[in-house]
Amino acid sequence: MPHPNDSAPLACRFIVIGTSSGGLAALRAVVAQLPANLPAAVLVTMHIGKQHSVLPTLLETHTSMQVSFAADGEAPLEGHIYIAPPDLHLLLDGGAMRLVRGAKENHSRPAIDPLFRSAAITLRRAVIGVVLTGDLDDGTVGLKAIKASGGVTVVQDPADAEAPSMPSSALRYASVDHCLPLAEIGKCLDGLVRKPDESGTAPSEPRRIEPYETEHEICLQGGSVSIKHLGKHGQISNLTCPECGGGLWEMGFAPPRFRCHTGHSYTVKTLALQQDVVIEEALWVAIRSLHEKKALLDRQVATAQLSDRPGVASEYELAGKQLDSHVEALMRLIGSLDGEIDEFLRVEGSTEV
């Protein structure tokens, strides 16, 4: 397969697809429409986390194309579908696929943005980015990178999606070329990859697309990129990374997003959700500490009673009851967190920028 920066006219020869909730049915519907002789390699990231996955097996019965997990260092071939394996980001670097266990992005690994971003940088206009059904907003920033590089963007119609949040976010923030129901996406992709490129030849020295290039280097190199390079493309915020405790840089405004120098990356939605996780963990630590202190006080009560000191025992009992009330208050607070974050996401999702 020719390198996308060769001087010959280009066709869109790579398709990158991102999906999350409801993604299995959506992927099956799309790949069923793709012919075995599709003149493109298809790379897929689905939010499968670190659990064992049989996604290639679940897809291969619905398509005439070959389906497999991506392998590190392998060159993608036309007519083949490559799946990001569990707990690894799938990237493109030069003419090969790379699998890296870098920091989570949008609290996911594999995540969609790293794949899309790397495809935009590596392939320029020779890539088509596709966002399908999913919760929250992973893939939006990556789709913007693809558009900035001259690629084509396709989004599932939110009204047709099992989980409309990801497609809705992409439509809200990215410039989308095609918004289609599932039944039409595969046919659209087949037509796009067969359409000759009409924009002339690729530049011999393509411009850097920032901040996406620096972010790709951070992901590819495991956070070894200098902090000063990140500072060139973002503004340090007064927030800290909920996963590693490092400082967060604000990297953009549409959508607002944050990144630490080790590689963790968040949109406002995913940052708020991860902050909620950290808050709950801290509250459970506080509850555990209160339980332990109550157990110590109970021992002191028993000791005071055995030594015939009823006044002292009463003081310890009163202190224990106060601790019980603190535990009850913290439990109520934990119970309220889900409702608060749901309301935050509802309001954030309906606010125009």
pLDDT in tens, 144-155: 999 999 999 999
Q: Band of the pLDDT at 233, cuts 50, 70, 90?
A: confident
The mean pLDDT value for 278-288 works out to 94
- pLDDT at residue 39, as a whole number: 95
Q: Band of the pLDDT at 238, cuts 50, 70, 90?
A: confident
**Mean pLDDT over all residues of the chain?**
87
Residue 331 neighbours by CB under 8 Å, 6+ apart: 287
More confident residue, 224 or 62: 62
d(CA 297, CA 350): 50
Of 159-173, 209-223, 321-335, the range with the lowest mean pLDDT is: 209-223
Q: Any catalytic annotation for residue 149?
A: no
Q: Band of the pLDDT at 2, cuts 50, 70, 90?
A: very low
Closest to 123 in 3D by CA, of 141, 145, 101: 145
Q: Any catalytic annotation for residue 338?
A: no
Which of 113, 137, 138, 157 is flagged as catalytic?
Answer: 138
Do 32 and 63 meet the contact criterion of CB atoms below 8 Å apart? yes
Whether the per-residue pLDDT at 253 is higher than 90: the answer is: no
Q: Band of the pLDDT at 347, cuts 50, 70, 90?
A: very low
Torsion region of 73: left, alpha or beta (phi above 0 gives left; psi -120 to 50 gives alpha): left
The mean pLDDT value for 13-32 works out to 96
- pLDDT at residue 348, as a whole number: 44
The mean pLDDT value for 82-92 works out to 96
Q: What's the DSSP call for residue 78?
A: T
Q: Band of the pLDDT at 256, cuts 50, 70, 90?
A: confident
Q: Band of the pLDDT at 231, cuts 50, 70, 90?
A: low
Whether the per-residue pLDDT at 200 is higher than 90: the answer is: no
Which of 20, 21, 108, 165 is flagged as catalytic?
Answer: 20
Helices (H), ranges, 69-211 = 112-123, 140-148, 165-173, 182-194
CATH top class, domain 226-353: mainly alpha
CATH top class, domain 14-194: alpha beta
Q: Where in the chain is the domain with CATH 1.20.58?
A: 226-353
- pLDDT at residue 226, as a whole number: 59
Q: Where in the chain is the domain with CATH 3.40.50.180?
A: 14-194
Q: Band of the pLDDT at 319, cuts 50, 70, 90?
A: very high
More confident residue, 194 or 225: 194
Q: Any catalytic annotation for residue 314?
A: no
Which of 47, 80, 89, 216 is flagged as catalytic?
Answer: 47
